[in-house]
Copies of this chain bind each other. A is one copy, B any other.
Amino acid sequence: MTAKMLEDFNREHFPQVDHMNMRVEHVDDKTITIRMSVTEQHLRPGGTVSGPTMMALADAGMYLLLLAQIGPVALAVTTNLNINFLRKPAPGDIVARGNILKLGKTLATGEISIYSIGIEDPVAHVTLTYAIPPKKQNL
């Protein structure tokens, strides 16, 4: 699936997350880059991007990267997410760069680094595991 197909699938099946303003900038068979336009609702006092916003971006990024590999299986389920918050993000856009660590038959694991525009080092690092449903559940 291409970046465009992923976004279309996402919009159709997850209408509730449209407010996240995410854009898939790149996707291939191992990595993904997605950018999120940060708005007032994603900010914390001091103008920093909130933790749950970064977690949501990481979850969406890894989910889409998996979709790009296994096809439009809307029912893959996050089973574990571990996030280390490393630096205070700036109030601007955030970008998630992810790669797959393992793509098995029933489990997939990946990692995401989150960057804040204007800061060189990552502001957060996330590892995520998903349970992949049996084939017949494909949409």
Contact = CB atoms under 8 A, between A and B. Distances in A.
B16 A40 contact: yes
Interface in A76-125: 77-88, 101-102, 106-107, 109, 111, 121-122, 125
A86 B59 contact: no
Interface string A15-30: 0110100000000000
Contacts of A127: 82, 84, 125, 127
A87 to B, nearest CB: 7
Which of A50, A77, A85, A121 has most chain B Cβ within 10 Å?
A: A85
Main secondary structure of the interface of A (DSSP, over half): mixed
A107 B131 contact: yes
A107 B107 CA distance: 10
